Amino acid sequence: MGTVEVFYSTLAITQDSPYLSVSARADLSDFLPANGSVMFDDGIAAANFTVAILDDDQPEPEEAIIVQITAVRLVSGSQQRARKYFAVIGE
Write the DSSP symbol of residue 52.
Answer: P
Q: Determine the Cα–Cα distance for residues 91 and 39; give it in Å rounded to an integer.
A: 18
Q: Residues 14-47: pLDDT tens digits?
A: 777 666 666 677 878 889 999 999 999 988 889 9
Confidence of residue 77 (pLDDT cuts 50, 70, 90): confident
Q: How far apart, in Å, are the Cα atoms of 76 and each of 25, 33, 66, 81?
A: 37, 29, 29, 15
Q: Determine the Cα–Cα distance for residues 72 and 4; give it in Å rounded to an integer.
A: 7
Q: Determine the Cα–Cα distance for residues 30 and 2; give it in Å rounded to an integer.
A: 37
CB 12 within 8 A of CB 33: yes
Residue 85 pLDDT > 60, yes or no? Answer: no
Residue 90 pLDDT > 70, yes or no? Answer: no
